[in-house]
Amino acid sequence: MTDNDAVSAAFAHMRQEAKKRTGTVPNLNRPLPKASKSLADNDATPAAPRQRGIATGPDGRRRRRSYSVQRAGSILSDEIKKRGWRKEIAGGWVNSHWEDLVGAQIAAHTKVEMFKDKALFITCDSTAWATNLRMMQRIILRSISEQIGPDIIVELKIFGPKAPSWRHGPLHVKGRGPRDTYG
């Protein structure tokens, strides 16, 4: 038995086993993919063998692995833009940095209630602080637009203290209505 016959017999056996397992045999008559240029040219120099070991820099130290991973901040900013959350996040930023925007003294007497439709709702401890804040409205809006950008917050709705209420708790009983005053 020659080497050629042994190879042919092994090849035929492999094809029979493949047909038993999958029911089909690979098509050997399909065209082969084109060989790369370096393999097609016989007179081309062979490629240098791959170097083994750890790559080092000019000083002999190991080179740092380069990661092509995006930074978390850029991923977050892309998601914020894609989902249209810029205004909501800007409103939250103003709420959390209110003391930095207006100063400690004003922030101690005012509170940001909510951000809605380009308007920031603010309540004050007293009507005097509300009046003072209304006079400073342009300065506050300018500092907000410098920090978060234009056309996000364009109006401040400033309210004084809330009027006292005699209701206590989540449940309420309706009052007795008006009294007869015509004796």
Q: Name 114's bridge partners.
A: 121
**90 within some domain:** yes
Structural domain contains residue 44: no
Residue type, 123: T
Q: Could you tell me the pTM of the whole model? A: 0.52
Q: 73: exposed, middle or buried (C-beta count within 10 Å: 0-12, 13-18, 19+)? A: exposed
pLDDT digits (tens, 9 = 90+) for 116-174: 988 999 999 999 999 999 999 999 999 999 988 888 899 999 999 887 777 788 888 88
DSSP lists the bridge partners of residue 110 as: 124
Please indicate, yes or no, if residue 39 is contained in any of the structural domains. Answer: no
Q: Is residue 89 part of a domain?
A: yes
Give the angle subtended at the CA of 102 by the CAs of 97 and 104, to the nearest 5°.
85
Note the pLDDT of residue 98: 92
Residue 3: predicted pLDDT: 66
Within-domain flag for 81:
yes
- Indicate whether 74 pLDDT > 80: yes
pLDDT at 42 (0 to 100): 56
Which CATH number fits the domain that encloses residue 123? 3.30.300.130
Number of compact structural domains in the chain: 1
Instruction: Domain of residue 113: give its range.
Output: 76-159
- Cα of first residue to Cα of last residue in the chain, in angstroms, is 134
6: in domain: no
| Calpha distance 181→109 (Å, rounded) | 43
Residue 107 lies in a domain: yes
Classify 114 in phi/psi space as left (phi over 0), alpha (psi -120 to 50) or beta. beta
Residue 17 falls inside a structural domain: no
- pLDDT tens column, 28-68: 777 766 666 555 555 556 667 777 778 788 888 888 877 77
Q: How far apart are CA 181 and CA 183, in angstroms?
A: 6
Whole-number pLDDT of residue 92: 87
